[in-house]
């Protein structure tokens, strides 16, 4: 393992300054970063611990909605009154993590920005692994890979538990960097890289997510995951639905290189959630899905996840 | 001369009771030290560099950068330039350094070049295998004719994926030389005596100079019988550097090179007469467990039919080699056979419970046992009330029942034990066996205490060292029969030896003495009973010593068990997710020494069975031949939420106890997968023919295709 510096700033300003060095990486709960380092898939020269910055942790209600600091741990967040009462989609996504250990350490920011679990990526072949000029995952074993947004060579899936419900709920992320603070929709944190040299995130150099804000709009919302194991296991499909008088949002997880928003499914729920519209939303969600050589079953699972998320939200 | 029997049912002090394992507290508190926990002063860490290619020839090795690193003490070439490598992750070089971190950095700095050769890793496509080795069919009767004239027929293809042992404590050891002639190996092994012999031979010292120590070990399941290449390398580096060396496998190595259970793929046709008697069996199977392919599973399993034929093709692959996996070949054979017979029962329009009972005589000498067990299992599962014909269930989540039969030998292995009785009242067993976590230590203590009529706290077990009286490897369910036989005989001999020593000092005859409930009794009533400690004081400063062996005089153990298991599962028809509601296991294993340990063996087996039934599988990349899930993230073991309710019933009493002790390590792990697959088939109404039964495969079956 590459030797690295460790720093633990008390302010976001210090954190941004420390992150401006070449090879510096932000450390939150460490549930992803430390395993990447052990696997040799990440070799930072400096770790900047964000957990000692008081401003970054905890959730509180503001005029704009529920603000959640980036280093708030998932476990406590799942117990938060507003989350339980108003945003069950978030609580259900957190419950889906299943591991006490992970829930105790993983942070909101870390969950949103964790790297894909693609087994080619983790084995060191890169995020967009190529083999003889072809996508290695497309021509290899892609049973856990993308069914949307997979026309190019990148076919990993975004693994975030929180991104689908937060996007469905219209949450925004606060991003802080050397050039100051900006606010973006959570879905705009993500992009599909064209090659392994590119990032799957839109953050600039030394930028960090300091928190997310969920607008206090009343909605029916829910998340539904399908996993092989009942315990700690990555979902094979996940969907979050939020429906209100102003319309619906439907977001799929573990389905594409980014959290996947389905306008068609949302449209099917525009007139309200019913058994029939939930079914239609599931069908609409996967109408433009495209199977790779070994993941056709995931289309069925995505359809069911959308339908069941909608029914759970009803 | 002692009579070598087990005490009668009414005379048992400990045997058959629910006794907790003696080492539970030290394990639960972390005081138990496994090989992985051993740290010696001045110890080096060794890390092995693995080949990334599934098939390649080494063209160059440059370790200069590693050798130049601070803290790197030794670079040991395991396989040199020119060697042809047959599987990914094979070990090429070991780097020993003053810390684990430096050893890893050193390993990463070794530059090895390869000429990459073509590989074959996915044996399911047997037609594409470059080196498939078909064997002659074994045939009894005239299956073709019987098939042709039978009114009821069934056929299907059944598939069992290759899985790993995935021991929680990985393979490995710490080696330390006492001088130029003597080495101690703290090894995670199922065979301390065997490892001592193997290492001595391979490094050129007498086996008696190799001291293997294994007090606790974290699972082997058949993968830890050998000293292994890494054991020899570890000892060699320790000798070369004059320092203790620790070399333990990483998780990825554990699941790639340290053991695999071969896959089995089979095409089966069966036929029954109008009454539901099976009249013909025809199977063709193939499978692989690495470069040596795979031996045939015993097909048909448990049953023998008048007209049957079976042919097997072994398929070599460029994958880490197979090792014995708990009940070698049986779980695969069980899945194929029980699924095929369930399908035939369905074709015959029969409840499989009736169908299996109808054909139970074809199981041979265990037919009576199976019948009793099936009735008991049916009662515990509520089978008669709850079973419905295949496909009767409706709705999105459908439940169903399935059952399977299994068999195993389990005769006690060769074992030697010395029992010492000291004048302070302590009685000690010394035995060169090892406790894999199954409770062997507790069994030895229990037998010793039983024989002396003492409490468990009054006896001591010294084991886990190769210098102790030799005992066999712990595999094939042979340990409990072996160590209980040798300990019982040694203990009975020791009681006699104690009597011989103290009788003259008590002014009586040996034959007048007996030990019962912690007291020395005088059969003729000439003296009042005296506490054991008071009697033991007469032993004198030299302890009494006696030995016993297995096999030996008297019928203390036997071989051959039958068990049945039933599964109640639910299947989500829209997602293909299989959930275990309940498992029922009914098992015989002769005389049960410790009911709690026996039940624990079955619980553990059911959990392991649920795991291989639903989630476990080695996945190989077609491009590189590397295992893609060499971790515990995508090499999926079931968690506690996945296993459902488990009901275990052990057959005891007349007809079972008098057979003596029979091993239990393998039998209960054989049938869970088959029972679960039959239950999933019953629930969904479509044949669920593949393990693991992932959502992907179950959905494919429901949707009418093959995964």
How far is residue A223 CA from its own chain's centroid? 13
**pLDDT for residue B2 is more than 90:** no
Distance from CA of A134 to the nearest CA of B (A): 11
Hey, what are B212's tokens? 């293997």
- pLDDT per residue over B407-442, tens digit each? 999 999 999 999 999 999 999 999 999 999 999 999
Provide mean pLDDT across the span A42-65. 96
Confidence class of residue B707 from pLDDT cuts 50, 70 and 90? Answer: very low
Per DSSP, B473 falls in state -
What pLDDT is stored for residue A192 in this prediction? 98
Looking at the partner chain, which of A141, A232, A304 has a beta carbon nearest the beta carbon of B639?
A232
Fold classified for B330-410+558-702? Aldehyde Oxidoreductase; domain 4 (3.30.365)
Rounded CA separation B407/B670 (Å):
8
Provide mean pLDDT across the span A60-66. 95
- pLDDT per residue over A90-121, tens digit each? 999 999 999 999 999 999 999 999 999 999 99
Looking at the partner chain, which of A119, A228, A231 has a beta carbon nearest the beta carbon of B641?
A231
Residue keyed to tokens 């070049």 = B113
CB contact under 8 A, A230 and B696: no
Interface test with A, best of B695, B703, B705 (most A CBs within 10 A): B695
- pLDDT per residue over B270-288, tens digit each? 999 999 999 999 999 999 9
Rounded CA separation B575/B564 (Å):
29
Confidence class of residue B705 from pLDDT cuts 50, 70 and 90? Answer: low
Looking at the partner chain, which of A120, A141, A297 has a beta carbon nearest the beta carbon of B700?
A297
Q: Which residues contact A33 (CB under 8 A, 6 or more apart)?
A: A25, A27, A42, A44, A47, A110
CB contact under 8 A, A226 and B700: no
Q: Do domains B9-32+412-550 and B330-410+558-702 have the same CATH topology?
A: yes
HSE-up of residue B407 (Cα within 13 Å, Cβ side): 20
Nearest CA in chain A to B696: A297
Spell out which residues of chain A touch residue B634, defining contact as CB-CB under 8 Å: 117, 119, 144
Instruction: Supply the mean pLDDT for chain A.
Output: 97
What pLDDT is stored for residue B491 in this prediction? 98
B116 vs A246, which has greater pLDDT? B116
What pLDDT is stored for residue B295 in this prediction? 95
**pLDDT for residue A13 is more than 60:** yes
Nearest CA in chain B to A2: B105
B47 touches chain A (CB under 8 A): no
Query: What are the beta bridge partners of residue B565?
Result: B404, B585
Helix ranges (DSSP H) in A160-248: 163-168
**pLDDT for residue B706 is more than 60:** no
CB contact under 8 A, B104 and A1: yes
Give the residue among B49, B64, B44, B29 at the shortest CA–CA distance from B216: B29
Fold classified for B35-118+171-248? Aldehyde Oxidoreductase; domain 3 (3.90.1170)
Provide mean pLDDT across the span B212-238. 97
Domain ranges of chain B: 9-32+412-550, 35-118+171-248, 330-410+558-702
One DSSP character per residue, B144-186 reads HHHHHH-SEEEEEEEEE--EE---SSPSEEEEEESSSS-EEEE
Provide mean pLDDT across the span A186-191. 98
What pLDDT is stored for residue B1 in this prediction? 63
In A, residues 85-104, which contact B (CB 8 Å cutoff)? 98
Confidence class of residue A1 from pLDDT cuts 50, 70 and 90? Answer: confident
How far is residue B96 CA from its own chain's centroid? 32
Confidence class of residue B459 from pLDDT cuts 50, 70 and 90? Answer: very high
CB contact under 8 A, B619 and A141: yes
pTM for the whole thing? 0.97
**pLDDT for residue B597 is more than 80:** yes
- pLDDT per residue over B622-675, tens digit each? 999 999 999 999 999 999 999 999 999 999 999 999 999 999 999 999 999 999
Interface test with A, best of B102, B125, B610, B628 (most A CBs within 10 A): B628
* Region B9-32+412-550: CATH code: 3.30.365.10
Instruction: Supply the mean pLDDT for chain B.
Output: 97
Nearest CA in chain B to A305: B575
CB contact under 8 A, B695 and A141: no
A230 touches chain B (CB under 8 A): yes
Residue keyed to tokens 């696997």 = A39
Rounded CA separation B308/B141 (Å):
7
Hey, what are B599's tokens? 């039940």
- pLDDT per residue over B118-128, tens digit each? 999 999 999 99
- pLDDT per residue over A29-40, tens digit each? 999 999 999 888
In A, residues 100-129, which contact B (CB 8 Å cutoff)? 117, 119-120, 122-123
CB contact under 8 A, A123 and B626: yes
What pLDDT is stored for residue A285 in this prediction? 98
**Domain spanning A5-313, CATH class:** alpha beta
- pLDDT per residue over B372-391, tens digit each? 999 999 999 999 999 999 99
Hey, what are A67's tokens? 């603000």
Provide mean pLDDT across the span B189-203. 96
């Amino acid at each position: 393992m590459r030797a690295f510096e460790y720093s633990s700033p008390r302010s976001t300003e210090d954190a941004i300054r420390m992150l401006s060095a070449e090879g510096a990486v932000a450390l939150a709960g460490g549930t992803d970063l430390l395993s990447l380092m052990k696997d040799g898939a990440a070799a930072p020269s400096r770790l900047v611990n964000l957990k000692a910055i008081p401003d970054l942790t905890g959730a509180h209600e503001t005029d704009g909605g529920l603000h959640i600091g980036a280093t708030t741990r998932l476990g406590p967040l799942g117990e938060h009154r507003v989350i339980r009462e108003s945003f069950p989609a978030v609580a259900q996504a957190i419950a889906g993590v299943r591991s006490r250990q992970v829930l105790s350490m993983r942070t909101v920011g870390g969950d949103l920005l964790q790297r894909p679990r693609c087994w080619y990526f983790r084995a060191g072949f890169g995020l967009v692994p190529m083999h003889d000029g072809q996508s290695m995952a497309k021509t290899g074993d892609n049973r856990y890979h993308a069914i949307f947004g997979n026309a190019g060579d990148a076919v990993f899936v975004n693994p975030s538990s929180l991104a689908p419900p937060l996007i469905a709920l219209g949450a925004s992320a606060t991003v802080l960097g050397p050039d100051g603070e900006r606010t973006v929709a959570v879905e705009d944190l993500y992009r599909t890289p064209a090659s392994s040299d590119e990032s799957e995130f839109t953050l600039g150099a030394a930028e960090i997510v300091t928190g997310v804000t969920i607008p206090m709009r009343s909605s029916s919302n829910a998340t539904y995951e399908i996993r092989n194991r009942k315990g700690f296991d990555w979902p094979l499909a996940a969907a979050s639905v939020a429906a209100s008088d102003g319309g619906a949002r439907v977001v799929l997880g573990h389905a594409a290189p980014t959290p996947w928003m389905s306008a068609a499914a949302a449209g099917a729920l525009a007139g309200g959630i019913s058994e029939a519209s939930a079914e239609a939303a599931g069908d609409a969600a996967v109408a433009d899905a495209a199977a790779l050589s070994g993941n056709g079953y995931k289309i069925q699972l995505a359809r069911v996840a959308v339908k069941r998320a909608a029914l759970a939200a009803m | 001369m002692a009579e070598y029997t087990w005490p009668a049912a009414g005379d048992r002090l400990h045997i058959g009771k629910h006794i907790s394992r003696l080492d539970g507290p030290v394990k639960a508190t972390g005081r138990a030290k496994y090989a992985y926990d051993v740290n010696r002063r001045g110890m080096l860490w060794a890390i092995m560099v693995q080949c990334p290619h599934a098939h390649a020839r080494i063209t160059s090795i440059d370790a200069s950068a590693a050798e130049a690193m601070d803290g790197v003490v030794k670079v040991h070439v395991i396989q040199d330039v020119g060697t042809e490598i047959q599987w990914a992750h094979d070990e090429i070089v070991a780097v020993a350094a003053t810390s684990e971190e430096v050893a890893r950095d050193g390993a990463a700095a070794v530059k090895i070049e390869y000429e990459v050769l073509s590989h074959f890793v996915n044996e399911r496509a047997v037609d594409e295998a470059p080196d498939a080795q078909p064997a002659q069919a074994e045939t009894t009767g005239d299956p073709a004719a019987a098939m042709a004239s039978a009114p009821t027929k069934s056929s299907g293809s059944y598939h069992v994926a290759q899985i790993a042992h995935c021991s929680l404590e990985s393979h490995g050891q710490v080696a330390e030389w006492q001088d130029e002639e003597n080495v101690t190996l703290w090894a995670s092994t199922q065979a301390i005596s065997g490892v001592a012999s193997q290492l001595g031979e391979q490094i050129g010292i007498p086996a008696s100079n190799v001291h293997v120590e294994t007090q606790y070990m974290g699972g082997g399941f058949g993968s830890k019988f050998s000293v292994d290449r890494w054991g020899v390398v570890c000892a060699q580096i320790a000798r070369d550097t004059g320092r203790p060396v620790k070399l333990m496998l990483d998780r990825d190595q554990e699941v790639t090179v340290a053991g695999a259970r071969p896959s089995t793929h089979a095409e089966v046709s069966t036929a029954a007469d109008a009454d539901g008697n099976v009249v013909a069996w025809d199977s063709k199977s193939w499978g692989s467990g690495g470069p040596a392919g795979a031996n045939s599973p015993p097909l048909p399993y448990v049953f023998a039919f008048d007209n049957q034929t079976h042919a097997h093709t072994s398929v070599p692959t460029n994958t880490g080699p197979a090792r014995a996996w708990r009940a070698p070949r049986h779980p695969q054979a069980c899945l194929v056979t029980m699924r095929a017979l369930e399908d035939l029962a369905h074709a015959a329009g029969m409840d499989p419970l009736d169908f299996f009972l109808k054909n139970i005589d074809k199981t041979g000498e265990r037919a009576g046992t199976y019948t009793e067990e099936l009735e008991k299992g049916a009662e515990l599962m509520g089978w008669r009330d709850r079973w419905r014909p295949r496909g009767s269930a409706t709705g999105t989540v459908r439940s169903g029942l399935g059952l399977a039969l299994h068999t195993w030998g389990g005769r006690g292995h060769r074992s030697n034990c010395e029992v010492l009785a000291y004048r302070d009242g302590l009685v000690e067993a010394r035995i060169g066996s090892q406790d894999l976590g199954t409770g062997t230590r507790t069994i030895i203590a229990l037998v010793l205490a039983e024989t002396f009529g003492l409490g468990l706290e009054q006896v001591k077990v010294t084991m886990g060292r190769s210098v102790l009286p030799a005992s066999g490897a712990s595999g094939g369910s042979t340990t409990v029969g072996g160590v209980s036989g040798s300990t019982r005989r040694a203990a009975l001999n020791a009681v006699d030896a104690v009597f011989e020593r103290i009788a003259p000092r008590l002014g009586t005859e040996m034959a007048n003495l007996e030990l019962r409930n912690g007291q020395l009794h005088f059969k003729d009533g000439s003296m009042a009973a005296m506490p054991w400690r008071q009697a033991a004081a007469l032993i004198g400063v030299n302890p009494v010593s006696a030995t016993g062996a297995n096999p030996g005089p008297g019928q203390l153990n036997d071989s051959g068990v039958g068990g049945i298991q039933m599964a109640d599962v639910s299947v989500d028809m829209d997602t293909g997710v299989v959930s275990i509601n309940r498992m029922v296991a009914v098992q015989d294993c002769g005389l049960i020494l410790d009911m709690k340990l026996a039940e624990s063996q079955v619980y553990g087996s059911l959990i392991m069975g649920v795991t291989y039934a639903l989630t476990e599988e080695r996945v190989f990349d077609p491009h590189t031949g590397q295992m893609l899930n060499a971790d515990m993230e995508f090499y999926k073991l079931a968690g506690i939420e996945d296993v459902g309710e488990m009901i275990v019933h052990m057959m005891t009493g007349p007809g079972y106890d008098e057979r003596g002790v029979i091993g239990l390590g393998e039998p209960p792990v054989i049938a869970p997968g088959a029972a679960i697959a039959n239950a999933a088939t019953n629930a969904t109404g479509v044949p669920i023919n593949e393990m693991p039964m992932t959502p992907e495969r179950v959905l494919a079956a429901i949707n009418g295709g093959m995964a």
